[in-house]
Structure formats: C-alpha cells, structure tokens
A and B are shown apart, each in its own frame.
Chain A
Amino acid sequence: MADPRIIIVGAGPAGVRAAEACVQAGLRPTIIDEGRRDGGQIYRRQPDHFTRPYQKLYGTEAGRAQAVHQAFDAIRDRIDYRPETLVWNIADGHIWTAKATAQEALPFDVLILCTGATDRLMPVKGWNFAGAYSLGGAQVALKSQAVSIGHRVVFMGSGPLLYLVASQYVEAGADVAAVLDTSPFTARVKALPDLLAMPSVLWNGVRLTQALKRAGVAVHHGVTPVEIVGDPHDGLGGLRFRDRGGTERRIACDAVAMGHHLRPEAQLADLARCAFAFDPLTRQWLAERDGDGRASVAGIYLAGDGAKILGARSAEASGRLAALAALADLGLTSDTGEMERLRGDVATYARFARGLARAFPWPAQQAAALPDEAILCRCEGVTAGDLRAVMRETGAQEANRAKAFSRVGMGRCQGRYCGLAAAELIAAEAGIPIEQVGRLRGQAPVKPLTIAIGDDA
C-alpha cells in the first residue's frame, strides 16, 4: 500500500508512541483526541498560565511524562493532529468524528485504538450526593487545575491510584481525612511474587503509604463502605464504614474520592466489531488481541489501557508495538528485534498488573450487598432495588436485557460507572457466574452529541 491511511485514536502515552513509530516510517498518521492537549489522562498537561514544574505534577513519573510530551512536540508538524475531537462511531471502514458542531467521516486502512481508561466504580449508598468524585477525577482536579475536590477529603476504594492521589493531595496541602482501602493487607503479601516484576514501582508504592502515615493520615485496610451521608441540597457531609474488625465508624468530610482501579474505554473496539473475551482476574470483558495488539478484525490494533489495564509504562510499549505490527502487516517494515524486546517489556508489565489486581481485588460482594434504596445508576437515579424488581418481574439475567427494562446503563454515562457493578448485582441475585450476565454492548454515539451537529467536512 503506497500511502496507507493510519488513524490513531487517543493522544496519551500509547497514541503518542504509536504515532511516533509511524512518523519514523515516513508516514503522516492522523491522531484524534478528545483532550485539549496531548498527554492523555495520566500525563495530562496543565493549561496555559499554570507554572508547576514536571516534578511537582508527575512525581516519580516526571521524566516519563516529559519524554512523552517531547516526543509529541517533535512529531507535531508531521501528523494530522485533531484535538478536542470525539470519535463517536466506526462503521464500513470509516470513523465518524465530531468537533463542536462539525462532523466528518474519515476512511482508514489502519486504525490504532489507544482510547485509555476511566475509573472503575463500586457504588456506595449516597454516592449520588454532590461531593462524591471518581478517584481519577480527584487527580485531574489537582493536576490540571490545582484545586482540591473539597475542604476535607476521604479516599475510598482500592488500588495503587488510591494511595497515589491521596499522597498527592497531602503534598499539595489538602486536608485528607482518611484513606479507606477495601482490600485486606494480606492480599498484598500474597501478591508479592508478581509485584516483584517491577521492584522500583513496588518500592514507590511502599514509600507513598509511609508518607501518608507520616503525615498523620489514618489508613484503614479491609474496610466495608456502608453509606455516604449528606443533604440533597448541600451535598455530602460524611461517611460510615465498618473497619476490618467489623466496628462501624463515622468520618466527617465534604468530599469523597472513590474508585477501584480502572476499566478500559472499549466502546470503539466494540463498534469496530472486535471480539471480546472475559478476563476472570479483573472480572471484565476485554477486546481480544494478539501479543502485538492485533484485534480480531483486520486493520484494527489495540494498545494501552484501552485494551487492558497495564499502566502508563506499558501503554508506551504497547502503543509502539501495535504501530510496528501495523507497519509490518502493511509490508512497510519487517519484524525486528525491537518488537521482540517490546513484547518482553509488555509481559513484565502484565505480570505486575496481575499482582496489582490480586493485591487490590475488586470487591464484587459489595454490589450484591447494596441495600435496595442505594442508587446504582447515578445518571437517572435507578436504585439497586429497582434493578432487583426488574429481574423478578421480567426474569432478565442478561446485561443488555436488564438494561432495557431497568434503564441501568442507559443514562448519559452509558453504563461507564454503573455497568460493572450492575453485572455483579445481577449475577449474585440470579446465582449465575458473572460471565453469563454478559457485557453491555457499545452504542453509537459513544458519548452524547449535540443535536445541532451538521455535516461540515
């Protein structure tokens, strides 16, 4: 193919490294990104007029963030870069984009999806009150805007991001009331062999925990969240949880940052008709791909956290690897020793990620235990009891059928924040394995469009 049309979706670490590989091969790829600037969520650049240095923004990852930004700056003039642009559908060899009110259909020969991730949420009664934010959102507030999400913040959930963001808040001068981790400390010990795949990252995590304790922040392991309490008008005012001994405690706060690791933004892979497979360890459905990132559909490649949550370092490696695989498939380059090295790097990151998933497990049982009155779908205020009633009345046990009857997953977030917990609740209620519940199908548009949108290509 003389002049292949390569489109990369996402300008985070995976997308930037994929584009760089294409440029090095003499091509001019198109990068489409929803962000105002490159960097993705993890290496998000602060707006103009902000002056914090890399070390302050990205901590131990400052060097990596700067390298990814510099790589982008170096290829900026040799790519077709389209920021603030949403890819909202894929069909018939085209992607459909929307920027403000303009839309366009672009044909592609190669599509590299580097769509990144969003927080994986476990609902807690009261999470619909103003002042509850996703953990990633709490980090964006600090990193991109230099604000704390509240005057007194509790971090609740599990995973490395819980400790990272809490410690970033402490360092920035925010009042952190507590860190409440649902995973028991013993899980971390059992996961050590896999976590030792990346000793320096493991050590960074240990140091974060020590820094929190030195700052006097209460850190509880093995907690069970009970309720976020608040006032409909003013927002949340505190939360109740059971500690690992089963004693109920109450903390006053006006903000909660909550999350359990991340989930891939896989809607575009779905719309491109890629096959998905169930991953028992994370209890999520992932788009299938080979070791280099080739999806089940020819011409589609998957990289970064949008394919599987392996972290930012892995995203750089898998982004480059997917692009090299695409170039090799086009006959433009041959499989080199570099690809073999990148495969090895990704395997190491995957081992570490397996350790993290075991150390900070998704508390599936909490979905099953949600009281009937707890809001499950924040978008439309659908409760756990509403979903259970729909199951009793209709017999629905499949994710999309239950969604159609209950509207859980049909609201404006399109199931991003309730879908995984809803599936757990259905599985527990029906007494069937979670994989039998299936997964919510991706729907176009993958995010709401404004109705005024017109053909403006």
Chain B
Amino acid sequence: MSRRFVRLGETDRPPLTLHVDGRPVEALVGDTLMVALLAHGRTLRQSEFGPEARAGFCLMGACQDCWVWTETGDRLRACSTLAASGQRIVTSQPEASWPTHA
C-alpha cells in the first residue's frame, strides 16, 4: 500500500499538478495539500523528536502535526491549505529558513 488516504467519491473534479520534493504529484481541485500528498504517499514529514514519520492528526488546524514548506521556506499547514497548480512543496524544512524558525 503506497498511499494512506482512500478517495471515496467526488473524483470528477478538474485535475491539477503540483510538485512535492521536486517530483510532480497529480491532485484534484479542492484537495487540501494533506489529501494531495497522502493520496499518493504514506507520510507527510519526519518528526524532529523521534524516529517516526508523521501524517497529521487533527485535520482542523489545531495540532500543527502536518507542517510542510514551500521551496522558498514559508511554513504551511497541509490540512488547511488547498493544493494549487504549480505549487512547489517540500516536506522537510528548507535550511535557509532555519534561523527564523518560529
């Protein structure tokens, strides 16, 4: 099983393509980043405090477990950000933004 989330309907939406860690990912208009990523993969990011990978938890913007970044270093909550065509997302914090990490 290479994907975590399973689509149960609403698949007639227009497709879009974004880039995750440099690779193209197909998604549908209206997908959150979290759904776009987990409809293809198993996890979103690596925990900074333990050995395990993470895939989000609350889906309502409260737990902050689903952080991903733009290639320019802006932090996004994957659960509450819609996927968009041409987005370039990275799943580990870009080094350039480390000194300003909140």
Contacts and interface: CB of A to CB of B under 8 A. Distances in A.
Nearest to A258: B57
B95 interface: no
Contacts of B62: 118, 265, 413, 416-417, 447
* Interface range for B: 35 or more
Interface stretch (A63-71, A147-155, A185-193): A147-155
Contacts of B43: 130, 233-235
Given A128-B47, A149-B5, A174-B6, A133 B56 contact: yes
Nearest to A234: B42
Given A130-B53, A145-B32, A146-B9, A379 B64 contact: yes
B13 interface: yes
A446 B15 CA distance: 36
Interface in A113-140: 118-119, 128-134, 136-138, 140
Interface in A210-267: 232-235, 254-255, 265
Given A151-B1, A448-B102, A129 B59 contact: no
A412 B42 CA distance: 22
Chain A residues touching B, majority SS: loop
Interface in A373-413: 375, 378-381, 412-413
A173 interface: yes
Interface stretch (B17-25, B74-82, B86-94): B74-82
A449 B6 CA distance: 31
Contacts of A141: 5, 35, 59
10 contacts: A50-B30, A140-B60, A144-B32, A172-B9, A174-B6, A174-B8, A412-B64, A413-B58, A447-B61, A451-B101
Interface of A: 34, 36, 41, 46-52, 118-119, 128-134, 136-138, 140-142, 144-151, 172-174, 232-235, 254-255, 265, 375, 378-381, 412-413, 416-417, 447-452
